[in-house]
Amino acid sequence: MAECANRIEAIIAKQKQYFSSGETLDIKKRLQQLDILRHSLKKYEHDILEALHKDLNKSEHEAYMTEIGIVLEEIRFISKRLKKWAKPKKAKTALSHIGSKSMIIPEPYGTVLIIAPWNYPFQLAVSPLIGALAAGNTAVVKPSELAPSVSGVLSKIIKEAFPPECATVIEGGIEANQELLRQPFDYIFFTGSVPVGKVIMEAAAKQLIPVTLELGGKSPCIVHKDADLKLAAARIVFGKLTNAGQTCIAPDYLLVHKDIKRELLQALKQAIQRFFGNAPENNPAYGKIVNERHFERLIRLLHNENVVTGGTYHKDTLKIAPAIINEADWESPVMQEEIFGPILPVIGYETIEDVIDLVQSRPKPLALYLFTNDKSVKRQVISRISFGGGCINDTLMHAATPYLPFGGVGESGIGNYHGHNSFKTFSHEKSIVKQTNRFDVSFRYPSSKNGLRIIKKLLK
Ligand code: NAD
């Protein structure tokens, strides 16, 4: 314990010292770092795929799409635009500031801590790291101990790619986390559950460290009566069963117009069969639950529910066949906690007003999905319900583009990232007024004769 604490303290001191040297301010150097990272990820692509398979049984198709490809694309996107983003930006000059020039300079925070979860253990550690390095910070990455193979590979890759004063991985469980949270970081970027998010924010508050919290919760998916049901079913099943439902933005539960519920249930069953066959739990490309504890938790959620399809499971492989629950009770455990697994409750509704009231009365979700072509329904749902982000007639895709900020609101998180927003998240905007010495506007001075009159004209 003491040794772990000393090691962590020494690393942070080293990173802070390196940051103070000013070397990370050099944009060329940052671009070089991103390039090194890109090459390392390519070099170890096979090891990453193997680790993701071991920890979560991710197929190569899924692992490349949701973990490796998306991160390589983020490096490419950011590298192409970094020089422009890092330049000081001119700001307008207020009349009261006549003669001066104003500008905003993005500056790195310093030494940042990135804490990642186990469900996308590679992407959710590396994607914030890209933003942190691009913005000129040094970084300590703490991967999840629940995905130990990925944690090991990450540690190896970062160690080979960067000197520890630039970026380093600290592996470990609760003790390492607690020690890290005692350190004087300049920024903390956390991805994980709501309860742990509160622990992080409390620890950060003690030192007034700014935070980004990428959290979770129950994300609703609404299917209105005019939706294209076959297409909706395919896209919902894709969103729900990617990583066997262990996705923060997976549709947690479905709210379906009563008139089309029966037809949609049928289309969902067909889509599951089309993607994973008659027995998904035996399909090698279908994900497993991360560990026994989560497996048991999910099995418990099925108790006393009206499971209309799936739900069979293999404890030895930790796989659960996608289970659809018809008309789950709002008070039942499956509707109380974030499901985070291949279980989909489907609940009927009569009017879109009822849906809006229901969702509004619960914590603000991280994602929301709406299947409809009805303009008025789209407008009402999007404008009246607050949520992190989402899609109309699709699932997950809003999180897979560098052009959109990704993050929650309310209980689902604070702050956002991806693309330019990653750079902005890890940069402080420093405001500068460059005053002229050619003349001196004197109305602000206490001795000014007409000072108050002029100020009242300018500031009204
Ligand atoms: P978690 O909150 O249990 O753990 C996340 C990280 O926090 C891990 O690295 C873990 O080691 C660390 N941690 C755990 N307990 C801690 C403590 N007491 N003090 C300090 N650090 C601690 O989350 P998880 O189970 O790894 O991930 C699942 C959750 O994450 C779900 O709620 C999911 O919705 C959410 N999630 C959110 C996003 C997003 O982008 N918003 C992405 C993925 C997952």
Q: What is the CATH number of the domain that holds 370?
A: 3.40.309.10
Higher-pLDDT residue of 450, 103: 103
User: What is the span of the domain harbouring residue 417?
Assistant: 2-215+411-431
Is there a single domain that holds both residue 195 and residue 326? no
Is there a single domain that holds both residue 7 and residue 114? yes
Q: 23 in a domain, yes or no?
A: yes
Q: What is the CATH number of the domain that holds 83?
A: 3.40.605.10
Burial of 175 (0-12, 13-18, 19+ CB in 10 A): exposed
Give me the pLDDT at residue 5, please.
86
CA angle 221, 222, 224 (to 5 degrees): 155
Q: Count structural domains, the chain.
A: 2
The three-state secondary structure class of 16 is: helix
Please say if the pLDDT value at position 113 is more than 90. Answer: yes
Query: Ligand 1 center to residue 193 CA distance, Å?
Result: 4
Kindly report the pTM of this predicted structure: 0.96
pLDDT in tens, 182-209: 999 999 999 999 999 999 999 999 999 9
Query: Ligand 1 center to residue 310 CA distance, Å?
Result: 28
Name which of 30, 28, 120 is nearest 71 in CA terms. Answer: 120
Q: 373 in a domain, yes or no?
A: yes
* Residue 166 among the catalytic residues: no
Q: Which atom of ligand 1 is nearest to the CA of 118?
A: 26
Residues near ligand 1 (Cβ within 6 A): 115-120, 124, 142, 144-146, 174, 177, 181, 191-193, 196, 199, 214-216, 248, 338, 340, 366, 408, 413
The three-state secondary structure class of 220 is: strand
Is there a single domain that holds both residue 252 and residue 315? yes
Q: Which atom of ligand 1 is nearest to the CA of 406?
A: 40
Is there a single domain that holds both residue 199 and residue 290? no
> What single letter denotes the amino acid at residue 207?
Q
The three-state secondary structure class of 114 is: strand
User: What mean pLDDT do residues 330-346 have?
Assistant: 96
Q: 147 in a domain, yes or no?
A: yes
Question: Which mutation among 124, 211, 248 tests ligand 1's pocket best, with the greatest number of atoms within 8 A of CB?
Answer: 248
Q: Are the CB atoms for 166 and 146 separated by under 8 Å?
A: no
> What single letter denotes the amino acid at residue 323?
A
Burial of 225 (0-12, 13-18, 19+ CB in 10 A): middle
- Neighbouring CB atoms inside 10 A of 385's CB total 21
Mean per-residue pLDDT of the chain: 96
State the catalytic residue, choosing from 248, 305, 338, 391: 248
Q: 443 in a domain, yes or no?
A: no
The dihedral sign for the CA sequence 269, 274, 279, 280: negative
Q: 439 in a domain, yes or no?
A: no
Please say if the pLDDT value at position 1 is more than 80. Answer: no
Query: Ligand 1 center to residue 180 CA distance, Å?
Result: 15
Higher-pLDDT residue of 304, 199: 199
Separation CA 118–CA 151 (nearest Å): 9
Question: Which mutation among 179, 182, 188, 193 tests ligand 1's pocket best, with the greatest number of atoms within 8 A of CB?
Answer: 193
Is there a single domain that holds both residue 14 and residue 130? yes
Query: Ligand 1 center to residue 301 CA distance, Å?
Result: 20
State the catalytic residue, choosing from 67, 214, 305, 338: 214
Query: Ligand 1 center to residue 196 CA distance, Å?
Result: 6
> What single letter denotes the amino acid at residue 146?
L
- Neighbouring CB atoms inside 10 A of 329's CB total 15
The gap between the terminal CA atoms of the chain, to the nearest Å, is 60
Is there a single domain that holds both residue 279 and residue 225? yes
pLDDT in tens, 395-440: 999 999 999 999 999 999 999 999 999 999 999 999 999 999 999 9
The three-state secondary structure class of 347 is: strand
Q: 449 in a domain, yes or no?
A: no
Q: Which of 407, 423, 446 is the last residue of a domain?
A: 407
Is there a single domain that holds both residue 95 and residue 7? yes
Separation CA 262–CA 256 (nearest Å): 10
Q: Are the CB atoms for 180 and 113 separated by under 8 Å?
A: yes
Separation CA 83–CA 78 (nearest Å): 9
* Residue 214 among the catalytic residues: yes
User: What mean pLDDT do residues 322-329 have?
Assistant: 96
Q: How many CA atoms lie within 13 A of 454 on its CB side?
A: 13
Separation CA 240–CA 251 (nearest Å): 6
Separation CA 317–CA 286 (nearest Å): 11
pLDDT confidence of 441, banded at 50, 70, 90?
confident
User: What mean pLDDT do residues 162-191 have?
Assistant: 96
Is there a single domain that holds both residue 106 and residue 148? yes
Q: Side by side, which strands form the sheet with 89-91?
A: 89-91, 101-108, 427-434
Q: Residues of the chain with pLDDT > 70: what percent?
A: 100
Q: 122 in a domain, yes or no?
A: yes
Query: Ligand 1 center to residue 229 CA distance, Å?
Result: 34
Burial of 193 (0-12, 13-18, 19+ CB in 10 A): middle
Is there a single domain that holds both residue 260 and residue 173? no
Is there a single domain that holds both residue 352 and residue 245? yes
Q: 448 in a domain, yes or no?
A: no
Q: Which atom of ligand 1 is nearest to the CA of 388?
A: 41
Separation CA 387–CA 385 (nearest Å): 6
Is there a single domain that holds both residue 18 and residue 144? yes
User: What mean pLDDT do residues 208-215 have?
Assistant: 98
Is there a single domain that holds both residue 18 and residue 38? yes
Give me the pLDDT at residue 263, please.
98
